[in-house]
Amino acid sequence: MTIKQSADYLQMSVRSVHRYLEKGLIPQRGIEGTVRLDKRDLDALILYGRPWKKLITRQKDEIKAMDL
C-alpha cells in the first residue's frame, strides 16, 4: 500500500502515518524509490500497537486468519 492508501485504511492523516514511520512503528519497504507498507503491519499496529515482527505467533496467526 502507498502512504495515502495506508492513511485511508487506518483512518488517519498522511502526516500521522509519516510520524508512525519515523518512530519505527510501521516498517516500510522501498520499491524503485517509492515507499510501500504491508497490510499485516498496519493490522498489527491497529490490534496490538506494535509492528508485525514484534508479535508472538498467536497474534500473527490471528491477523493471518483475518485475511482469509
Cα three-residue angle 51-53-57, rounded to 5 degrees: 110
Q: Which domain holds residue 35?
A: 3-66
Calculate the alpha carbon distances from 17 to 26, 41, 49, 64 in Å.
Answer: 8, 12, 14, 22
- pTM, two decimal places: 0.83
For 4-60, the pLDDT digits (tens) are: 999 999 999 999 999 999 998 899 888 788 889 999 999 999 999 998 999 999 999
Number of domain units in the chain: 1
Report how far residue 43's alpha carbon sits from residue 63's, in angstroms, rounded to the nearest whole number. 7
Report how far residue 26's alpha carbon sits from residue 35's, in angstroms, rounded to the nearest whole number. 12
